[in-house]
């Protein structure tokens, strides 16, 4: 390149430098702020997915525990008679005078 072209490029660069002065401070312009927002949304979505998976696993665990307790109580009380039948048996043993 000759000196004249260098001067033209330098003048173009110096004229365009004022257009980019705002990019020296955060959020560093449109593209950088857009990418930062996208990254933040992605991180937020990942955190919500983790929370959702944990909540799902905890609810499944609670359901399994409740089912186990219910089945245990059901089989434990299976040999007992119902209260109505028990009261009939007790009445049958009462002596009439």
Give the CA distances from residue 6 to residues 3, 18, 20, 75, in Å, rounded to whole numbers and listed in that order.
5, 19, 21, 93
Tokens of 94: 């009462």
| Confidence check: pLDDT of 27 > 80 | no
CA distances from residue 77 to 3, 26, 65, 67 in whole angstroms, order as listed: 101, 69, 18, 15
CA 19 to chain centre: 42
3-state secondary structure of 76: helix
- Is the N-terminal amide bond of 18 cis, ω within 30° of 0? no
- Give residue-wise pLDDT tens across range 34-89: 888 899 999 999 999 999 999 999 999 999 999 999 888 877 766 555 555 555 55
């Amino acid at each position: 390149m000759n000196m004249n072209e260098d001067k033209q490029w330098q003048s173009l660069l110096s004229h365009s430098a004022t257009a980019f002065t705002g990019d020296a401070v955060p959020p560093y312009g449109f593209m950088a702020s857009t990418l930062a927002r996208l990254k933040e949304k992605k991180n937020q979505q990942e955190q919500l997915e983790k929370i959702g998976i944990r909540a799902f696993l905890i609810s499944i665990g609670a359901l399994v525990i409740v089912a186990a307790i219910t089945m245990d109580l059901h089989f434990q009380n299976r040999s007992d008679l119902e209260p109505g039948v028990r009261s009939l048996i007790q009445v049958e043993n009462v002596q009439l005078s």
